[in-house]
Amino acid sequence: MHLEQLKLTNFRNYQFQALEFSDRLNLIAGLNGMGKTNLLDAIYYMCMGKSHFTGTDRNVVRQGESFFRLEGHFNLKEKKEKIVAKVQPSKQKVFERNDKAYLRLADHVGLLPVVFKAPDDTNLLMEGSEVRRRFLDNTLCQLDSHYLDHLVNYNKILQKRNALLKQFAEQRNYDPTLLEVYDQQMVEPANYLHDKRNDFVESFEPVFNEYYKIICGGLETVKCEYKSKLTENELLELLKGSAEKDRILARTTIGVHKDDLQFKMDDRPLKNFASQGQLKSFVLALKLAQFDCLKNEKQTMPILLLDDLFDKLDDQRVKHLVELLVKGDFGQVFITDTHPERGEEFAKLFEGDYEKFIIENGRLMVNV
């Protein structure tokens, strides 16, 4: 799969832009703040129906404008796919596939698999569990439409359960039989999410480990483990055991919304000692393994978006990464860099099969 053409109207700092891309490597160079990341986010939006960075479309529309529009022309398994997003914040979002509007945006997710490596992805390793669950959910929603349905359902029930607990606290009463209704409803989606996450991590971990070895030259060993209370206990038992805590805190303190991924390097917690280069290598390995899992399961090449790829990597890790990308089977790749010359040297390794873009203030200045 690859993206052939993209048109942006009022998307972030782009007033209007029409672009045509190489089906292999696309190098996007420019200073920070010029719109490199915004361009990648537009591609991600076309694939996932939302921004990689914000869940609010108001933050995506160009300042001073009331709408934005994206149009992408994709080649998916030798078939042309035209995707259009028409968005007016606070109104219904319209997503079209080949001029026919989706009844549910969820039906679009997974059609065009995508992997985005962003500069702030070290948050995956350093921040709370919510960020790591989002990584799992992002991958599994693209792999399995039923997973997305169960995730939405679980979150709706969780929201209602938390609202009831808050109501109990405000009214100073408590009726466990009312909570049990939501407890029973949570079981099916929770078990589905847990099982899919567990199976995915088991297959994902060795692929991730191999990519990290290549990037770091075998200097360190890494692990990725799935942590969930549901692995050893039934949800209803867990909810019963946490009932008093939930009542006091007025929120649901246990369930798959508390699951986590545990990352280790040389059998030690990663975030306690890893350098910036090691953290970035770790994230790159995660993203490339995510790419492989999507490619193998979907039987098509995801689009690979690598933002600010070479920052904070030493020369040896850059060398290993470049060799990996050049020799590997990664389909269409988009790479941003602040140094056009560095990117040009890298791009030459693709034997001329690339496009180079220079971006300044949301405008394409050069395409050679």
pLDDT tens sequence across 225-278: 999 999 999 999 999 999 999 999 999 999 999 999 999 988 888 877 788 888
Q: What are the residue ranges of CATH 3.40.50.300 in the chain?
A: 1-113+301-368
| Mean pLDDT of the residues in the chain | 91
Residue 328 — pLDDT band, cuts 50, 70, 90? confident
Residues 1, 113 contacting (CB under 8 angstroms): yes
CATH superfamily of this structure's domain 128-299: RecF/RecN/SMC, N-terminal domain (1.20.1050.90)
Q: What per-residue confidence (pLDDT) applies to 366?
A: 55
Mean pLDDT within 212-234:
91
Check if the beta carbon of residue 198 is closer than 8 Å to that of residue 261. no
**Confidence at 33, pLDDT banded by 50, 70, 90:** confident
Considering the chain, tell me which residue range(s) the CATH 1.20.1050.90 domain(s) occupy: 128-299
**DSSP labels for 80-114?**
EEEEEEEE-TTS--EEEETTEE-S-GGGTTTTS-E
Pairing mode, if any, of strands 114-117 and 303-306? Answer: parallel
Distances in Å between the Cα of 289 and the Cα atoms of 18, 40, 204, 260, 359 are: 31, 20, 7, 18, 30
Q: Which residue has the higher pLDDT, 33 or 41?
A: 41
The mean pLDDT value for 295-313 works out to 89
The pLDDT of residue 365 is 67
Q: What's the pLDDT at 173?
A: 92
- Each residue of 128-137: pLDDT tens digit? 899 999 999 9
What is d(CA 80, CA 74) in angstroms, rounded to the nearest whole number? 6
Residue 279 has pLDDT above 70, yes or no: yes
pLDDT (0 to 100) of residue 202: 95
Provide DSSP, 255-305: SGGG-EEEEEETTEEGGGT--HHHHHHHHHHHHHHHHHHHHHHHTSPPEEE
Contact between residue 222 and residue 265 where contact means Cβ atoms under 8 Å apart? yes
Given a cut of 80, is residue 346 above it in pLDDT? no
Q: Given this model, what pLDDT does residue 351 score?
A: 67
pLDDT digits (tens, 9 = 90+) for 107-154: 999 999 999 999 888 888 888 899 999 999 999 999 999 999 999 999
pLDDT higher than threshold 80 for residue 316: no
Give 157-179 pLDDT, tens digit per residue.
999 999 999 999 999 999 999 99
> With contact defined as beta carbons under 8 Å apart, do 225 and 208 qualify?
no
Q: What percent of the chain shows pLDDT beyond 70?
A: 97
Q: How many CB atoms lie within 10 A of CB 128?
A: 9
Q: What is the mean pLDDT of residues 327-340?
A: 85
- As a whole-number percent, the residues of the chain with pLDDT over 90 amount to 67
Q: What integer pLDDT is reported at residue 216 of this predicted model? A: 85
Q: What fold characterizes domain 1-113+301-368?
A: Rossmann fold (3.40.50)
pLDDT of 204: 95
Indicate whether 367 pLDDT > 60: no
pLDDT of residue 157: 98
Quote the CA–CA distance of 184 and 239 in Å, as a whole number.
Answer: 10
Across residues 205-213, what is the average pLDDT? 92
* pLDDT, mean of residues 48-63: 93
pLDDT for position 143: 96
Q: What is the pLDDT of residue 129?
A: 92
The whole-angstrom separation of Cα 214 and Cα 333 is 19
* Total residues found in the chain within this entry: 368
